């Protein structure tokens, strides 16, 4: 029961878009859930709406503005500078509890629709020090959610051990390379596609893409 249904935590970024297409290739019924917590660039939400329309997948928006009120952060507040974490500090883009809250809401929605699977694009490989992107956290929360709702959830993390290069390769394999390249927003300045090219998120994305394209060209040349 419920094996063929999945809820995908979907932000409109590179990782969650790849996960959404991954889920659509595996499950009969997929619902994409986007959390609106007052992202400082509405372009992320706009991208999410465009992508679900293009993919023809069911979509649900959940209002979580309260998260911004409880935990002010650089993703939602213009007056907080985006800084990479230095010497054991978390980056200013980290939002306390965000993934736990997202996954908990996703689980509530999943149980309501009789779905067991919850798909999230969290990744430990390039995790920038976010504690709630670690595999140990996801496994721990999975157990907690099962106990909390007396239900056998399966949290799927297809990107957990991939680097950005490998995430691009997965998108290409799934046939969504162009969609991910052009429509997703990962840039901290809210610019779709390749973004501003200057922020840490754009640099990480571009480095992975360059590495993937080089590898692809080399493997073609060797064919
Ligand atoms: Zn950027």
Mean pLDDT of 32-56: 93
Number of domains in the chain: 1
- Cα(194) to centroid(ligand 1), Å: 8
What's the domain range around 57? 2-222
Q: Is 34 helix (H, G, I), strand (E, B) or coil?
A: strand
pLDDT at 71: 76
**Do 33 and 7 meet the contact criterion of CB atoms below 8 Å apart?**
yes
Strands 117-119 and 5-9: parallel
> Does residue 2 carry a pLDDT above 60?
no
The mean per-residue pLDDT over the stretch 44-71 comes to 93
> Ligand 1 centre from 45 Cα, in Å?
16
**CATH at residue 185:** 3.40.50.620
Confidence of residue 3 (pLDDT cuts 50, 70, 90): low
> How far away, in angstroms, is 207 Cα from ligand 1 center?
13
Q: Say how far apart CA 208 and CA 196 lie, in whole Å.
A: 16
| Range in 35-39, 49-53, 72-76, 118-122 the model is least confident about | 72-76
Summarize pLDDT for 116-157 with one digit per residue, the tens.
999 999 999 865 678 899 999 999 999 999 999 999 999 999
Supply the pTM of this predicted model: 0.91
User: Residue 119 C-alpha to ligand 1 middle, in angstroms?
Assistant: 25
What pLDDT score was predicted for residue 1? Answer: 44
Cβ pair 71, 114 in contact under 8 A = no
Residue indicated by tokens 């973004």: 195
Residue-wise burial string across 147-183, b where 16 or more C-beta atoms lie within 10 A, e elsewhere: eeeeeebebbbbbbebbbbbbbbbbbebebbebbbeb
């Amino acid at each position: 029961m419920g094996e063929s249904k999945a809820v995908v935590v979907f932000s409109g970024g590179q990782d969650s878009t790849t996960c959404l297409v991954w889920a659509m290739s595996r499950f009969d019924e997929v619902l994409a859930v986007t959390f609106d917590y007052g992202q400082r660039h509405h372009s992320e939400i706009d991208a999410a709406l465009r992508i679900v329309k293009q993919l023809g997948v069911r979509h649900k928006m959940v209002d979580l503005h309260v998260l911004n009120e409880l935990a002010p952060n650089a993703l939602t507040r213009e007056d907080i500078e985006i800084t990479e974490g230095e010497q054991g500090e978390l980056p200013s883009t980290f939002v306390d509890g965000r993934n736990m809250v997202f996954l908990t809401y996703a689980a509530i929605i999943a149980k309501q629709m009789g779905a067991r699977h919850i798909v999230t694009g969290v990744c430990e490989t390039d995790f920038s020090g976010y504690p709630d992107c670690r595999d140990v956290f996801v496994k721990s929360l999975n157990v907690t959610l099962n106990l909390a709702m007396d239900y056998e959830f399966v949290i799927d993390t297809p990107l957990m051990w991939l680097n950005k290069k490998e995430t691009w390769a997965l998108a290409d394999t799934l046939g969504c390379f162009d969609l991910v390249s052009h429509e997703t927003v990962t840039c901290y300045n809210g610019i779709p596609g390749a973004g501003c090219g200057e922020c840490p998120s754009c640099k990480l994305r571009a480095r992975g893409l360059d590495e993937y394209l080089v590898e692809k060209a080399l493997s073609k040349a060797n064919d």
